[in-house]
Structure 1
Amino acid sequence: MGNRSYLSINKPGRQQEVLFEGNNSLAHFWLLLLEKKDLESVRNVYRKVYQPEHEDEEIDTDIRVSRPRALENGRRRREYIAEVYPDLLDYYDEWLAYLRKQPSEDDTLFIDLLQLTGFYDTPDAFLDKLAAFYTDVAQFQPSFESTLPETSGWDGTRDKFFAASSSFYRNFPEARMQLKDIAVVKTPGRFKIMNYTWGAVSLAMVVGLFYLFRLFPHFWQHILIALLFAPVIFISIKGFLLVEKWSGRALQKTSGK
């Protein structure tokens, strides 16, 4: 099983849902959403959990952070990723965007790292180690490996939408085993048909204009026909963009289920 860690959110009509999880590993992207004061907020709670008299109690160990503040912290630390881990920047941006669009009842993120304290002598030693990470960030020093477990952690949702739809996620070697049972998210079939149909209509409009050139031989007629090319091309491009937009909305609805 391993020592688990969780990044969760309260989705409308559901109990707390795990968005990402770690297994014997620390996802450092999560820490970029936090500040030192967030770690201090659970220090006494972590200490309490490890006292023998409290070992059978149900104790809430979540670090709570409002999503707007978390995303603002993530945005500010983007410069750190860009400077120290440039190959991770696009994935980091995609990960933040995914967190931003998740439906939530209270606009709060929950991070539970308690089980990772098992790798340290005391909870204080663990939290002090986490606090030192922010010194590395401030000094633009490398602090973790560019692996899936040490960056975002694993997609912990039931439908595994992020894992299936993110090419960056799939490029991590660690993701291959997980993705064996996950179908890559594709454009819904009806939108593919719309794309092909609109492509055929667009081609027919262009071919029709060339046919008009042959049908009307006079120079001034050719000028008038040529003037039609710009609006035809505009209409064609606009149609493809609309189909892409509708398809994207459909995928977003799927991710929110």
Structure 2
Amino acid sequence: PDAPEVGEEDAARRLRPLLRRAREANAHLHVDMESLDTLDATSDLVFDLLAEPEFRTGPSTGVVLQAYLRESPERLERILEWAAAGGRESPITVRLVKGAYWDHEVVEARAHGWPTPVFEDRAECDRNFEALTDRLLEARGLVRTAVASHNMRSVAHAIVANRAQGGGDGDLELQVLRGLGDDLGHALAALGLRVRAYCPVGDLVSGMAYLVRRLLENTANDSFLADRASGAALEKLLAAP
């Protein structure tokens, strides 16, 4: 944004009532992250609001970390530094995702001759996702971890890493998209794991844009769901990136 401080002030006026309502209802409020050009403004807004005395005791709140961003490890460290210094009674939840704006970020960067801010190789992104999972679980006293993926390897890694660190299955939340990850979600829940099905609700135009991004993400040639649907061997699906 050309004037992020103006957008932040306007967004803060809109977000404060939502935080208050979530606290009154004892609900969790999660703030999503979108393309890189609004990421800093969104992050600053959320952390500034949560540091206000009014919201230090609640509600339960979360942010998103996008593993396809090359700078995501540094972003995570900033989140952990904020959490360590923030003094909130309820730790924030960090929802770890791969990221849904890959095409936009690549096209935007190439159009301006900028370095590409996202990993262009799926394996690099998957390795980073696992490293971020490990770091989040190590910081379980500061943040709560939610791993959002339909990739069985990524999910299995999170479960094993959590147990290896001495965590209980209830310490880790696994998230799937309603309509795309139903089978995986049901299977994980049947194992006694903590699963949340993510189902966005909103106006039709925004919903169609969201649907298109999901279709692009999950039907790409290197998509895990595409591999699974094509009957790829289990050894391939669970292979280390």
Q: Determine if the TM-score, normalized by the shorter chain, exceeds 0.5.
A: no
Q: Which has the larger radius of gyration?
A: 1
Q: State the structure with bigger RCO (CA 8 A, min sep 6), 1 or 2.
A: 1
TM-score w.r.t. the length of structure 1 is: 0.23
